[in-house]
């Protein structure tokens, strides 16, 4: 599950880790939008949060949302500044979600390659997440395949909610390069709504047999009703649906199917 560590729906990390452990979530994802700012996101010392993760047997994973405006070494620098907190938290899986103008696309193989080298030196599994249609970087499967071919050892984070129906099969073929999968619902052909499972029309079958953590990324965007859609009840209903159990999502805002 995506940890609720955002300004409008922040929860103490120890509470979030306890909730995850009690209800069978194997991992909690932390998202950092500012290099070196993980402690500010958690509002706690990373070492203490890492001890809570270890005690609960829940895996911490990290997403680094990195806006790339063209400045050299943006991605390696972001990883470097986060490394102390990564070590304190006990994070092993780290990925970059790059956003920015299309002009920076030619820089991605070099910068992700440099960041991968640094990650490997620290014993990390390092990946990159693709974007939904409407963004300008890493949208289609062909672009993602080219990038992975250019950077051997780089892992891929597949976001099912970012994926057009016609691209599902192509992304699914990258299963051997995946380190994580993000799961939420969206009213296809529109993407990126981050709805609770059952409120859109995404087919979950392609991800149920993948041997990597499946992270529920529910709520948080205005189009999906905002952070209020990632309540405990909604997360548990979505977890049940992901497991193939019959449980309806809790009442809340809906979008068209």
- Token duo for residue 29: 């994802």
Question: How far is residue 109's CA from residue 66's CA, in Å, rounded to a whole number?
Answer: 15
pLDDT for position 212: 95
DSSP three-state, residue 152: coil
Helix (H, G, I), strand (E, B) or coil at 93: strand
For position 226, what pLDDT does the model report?
Answer: 53
Report the predicted TM-score, pTM, of the whole model to 2 decimal places: 0.92
Structure confidence at residue 182 (pLDDT): 97
The pLDDT tens digits for 165-194 are 999 999 999 999 999 999 999 999 999 989
Which pLDDT score, from 0 to 100, does residue 99 have?
95
Phi, psi angles (nearest 5°) of residue 113: -65, -40
Give the contacts of 167 (CB within 8 A, at least 6 positions apart): 140, 141
Rounded-to-integer distance, Cα 129 and Cα 98, Å: 7
**Residue 16, CA distances (Å) to 20, 38, 252 in order:** 6, 16, 22
Nearest alpha carbon to residue 218 among 240, 198, 194: 194
CA–CA separation, 11 and 2 (whole Å): 12
Which of 93, 92, 85 is CA-nearest to residue 41?
A: 85
Question: Tokens standing for 150?
Answer: 């250019």
pLDDT for position 38:
98
Residue 184 near residue 216, CB atoms below 8 Å: yes
Low-confidence ranges of the chain (pLDDT < 70): 220-228, 245-257
Backbone angles phi, psi at 84, to 5 degrees: -60, -45
Spatial separation of the C-alpha atoms in residues 35 and 132, rounded to whole Å: 23
């Amino acid at each position: 599950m995506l940890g609720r560590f955002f300004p409008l729906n922040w929860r103490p990390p120890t509470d979030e880790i306890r909730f995850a452990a009690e209800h069978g979530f194997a991992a909690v994802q932390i998202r950092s939008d500012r290099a070196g700012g993980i402690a500010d996101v958690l509002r706690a010392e990373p070492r203490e949060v890492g001890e809570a993760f270890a005690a609960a047997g829940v895996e911490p994973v990290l997403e680094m949302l990195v806006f790339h405006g063209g400045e050299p070494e943006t991605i390696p620098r972001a990883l470097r500044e986060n490394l102390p907190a990564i070590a304190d938290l006990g994070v092993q899986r780290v990925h970059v979600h790059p956003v920015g103008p299309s002009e920076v696309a030619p820089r991605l193989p070099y910068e992700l390659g440099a960041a991968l080298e640094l990650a490997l030196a620290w014993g990390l599994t390092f990946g990159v997440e693709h974007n939904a249609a409407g963004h300008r970087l890493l949208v289609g499967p062909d672009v993602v395949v080219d990038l992975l071919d250019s950077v051997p050892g780089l892992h891929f984070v597949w976001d099912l909610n970012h994926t057009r129906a016609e691209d599902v099969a192509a992304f699914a073929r990258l299963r051997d390069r995946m380190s994580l999968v993000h799961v939420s619902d969206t009213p296809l052909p529109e993407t990126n709504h981050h709805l609770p499972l059952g409120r859109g029309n995404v087919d979950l079958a392609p991800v149920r047999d993948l041997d990597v953590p499946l992270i529920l990324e529910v709520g948080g965007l205005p189009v999906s009703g905002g952070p209020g859609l990632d309540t405990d009840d909604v997360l548990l209903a979505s977890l049940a649906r992901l497991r193939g159990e019959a449980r309806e999502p809790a009442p809340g805002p809906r979008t068209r199917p």
